[in-house]
Chain A
Amino acid sequence: MLQPDFKLDFNTDEIYSVSDFLSLCHSSIENNIPTCWLRGEISNFSSPASGHWYFSLKDKQGQIRCAMFRLSQRNTKFIPENGMEVLLQAAPTLYQVRGDFQLIVRHIEPVGVGNLQAAFEQFKVKLRDEGLFDAQYKKSLPAVVNTIGVISSSNGAVIQDIIKVLNKRYPFAEILLFDCVVQGEGSAEKLAQAIYAADKSGRCDVLILARGGGSLEDLWAFNEELLARAIFATTTPIISAVGHETDTTIADFVADMRAPTPSAAAMLATPDRLELLTKLSKLHANLVQRTQQTLSHYQQQLNQLDLNLPSFNRQLNVFAQRLDELNTRLDYQVKITLNLHQGKLNTLFEQLKQHSPITSIKHKQQLNQLAKIQLNSHIKRTISQQQLNLSNLTQSLEKSIRHHLEQQQYKLARHSAGLHHLSPLNTLSRGYSISMREDNQVLDSVSQVKIGTLISTRLNDGKIYAKVEKIENN
């Protein structure tokens, strides 16, 4: 406690302003206290819009203000929470604006679990709460796989393992490798793009996201939220196979199925050739067995029928005999009935015959025949009568004609003799002649000719042809 009379021994020149004093402290602290590691529990954590983190680090006896700027957070995968025990590397400083002593945190990591492990746990909780791991969203693997999309690096053993397994198990499946970096800065984003491309290609029946084993850091891309959401968004079933059996990533939780290794993923995606062969053999055996059963079934039926055949035959014989018997009886009956009817029929026929128009027709025909004969003889008679008449007439006609001819011939002879006396020809023989013109006009007058007229003169024994040279009238 200060006494009023207590005399302070100080130089007024040495009075500091607040800010000067803070500056003094600031440099004193920064120069004297090195960057060091502290362990404590986080409280009053806040992260304003700037993205910087502010919190208190405390233990049971005390606490200290801490600030961790965004730049320093780059390598921090988890987000500090109140109550979290952390180990941090920090440099003490003085926040002169408020005069607060505080730590500028360069690095922070959870105590017990690693930084990444903590982040992993945090993401896991977050995405699980969002439902990204829910069984209801898990797509089942297709029964038939023709094309498998593998999202992995073309380098390294992973793809070779997958190829080897598939070649052995199920060579039908075409493999499409969506080549992608699987670790390092930006790999999560690239993987997400590759998954998107594989899904959207629509060619793959199933996708395998694969990476070989590695440290948590190596595998970190598979824990990133971006990739988890890309996996969740696929419409193609996707199998995650990251790292070794003990490595589990967020991707494993989101994927439709998790395989402990890439080879295992290839096995999950496809049926086994050997299993298929076994299945084929089984099917074939069933086929053969069923066919044999069917055959023996029909054989049995056949045998049964064969067995039944003798008694059936006996039965048949009885029927046949009976039939014969009935047949004979029927035959007899028929014959009797037939005979009876035949007799009646004959009687009727005879009766019918008597009344038959044929009889009267025959009679009429006979009459007709008779009439015909009579007519014929009458006609013949008449004809020969007429022929006789005709012949008589002809004879008398001939006779009369001959007679007449003879008379005429006689007459003619007579006239001819007379005519002979009168013929000029007789005159000619006595020295007379007849002259004619060329037109046979007998000349009886000189006027009938002119000088130069050609004339012919008939004598008794020939003809003279002459030309008129002179005409004299008497």
Chain B
Amino acid sequence: MAEKFDFNKGLSELEDIVKTMESGDLSLEDSLKRFEQGVILTRQCQTALSEAEQKISLLSAADGYQAQQPLDKES
């Protein structure tokens, strides 16, 4: 997934947008543009939170912790 949504980046962008809007002094167009961006980011973040999948890998001492293999969560 090359275009994977970066949750943390999205969250901090959203924070920036809200901060900018709270500082005021925005034209109506700018306000609405940021509002739209903010709504999209919120949705993306929420989706990411609900769809995120855990990735677990095992590295072992046998090869000096060089190679990694997926770890079965239920083992």
Contact = CB atoms under 8 A, between A and B. Distances in A.
B53 interface: yes
Interface string B37-71: 01100100110110011111111110011001001
A286 B14 CA distance: 11
Secondary structure class of chain B's binding surface, majority of residues: helix
B71 A177 contact: yes
Contacts of A176: 57, 59, 68
B68 to A, nearest CB: 7
A294 B56 contact: no
A175 B65 contact: no
A280 B45 contact: yes
Contact of B21 (A171, A179, A194, A291): A291
B53 to A, nearest CB: 6
A462 B25 CA distance: 142
Interface in B1-43: 7-8, 11, 14-15, 17-18, 21-22, 24, 26, 28, 31-32, 34-35, 38-39, 42
B28 A298 contact: yes
Contacts of A291: 21, 31-32, 34-35
Interface string A423-461: 000000000000000000000000000000000000000
Interface residues of B, number: 39
Interface residues of A, number: 38
A194 B61 contact: yes
A277 interface: yes
A284 B61 contact: no
16 contacts: A154-B75, A174-B56, A177-B57, A177-B59, A178-B61, A179-B59, A194-B61, A194-B65, A197-B64, A276-B49, A277-B49, A280-B42, A286-B21, A287-B38, A287-B42, A295-B31
Interface of A: 144, 146, 154, 160, 163, 166-167, 171-180, 190, 193-194, 197-198, 201, 273, 276-277, 279-280, 283-284, 286-288, 290-291, 294-295, 298
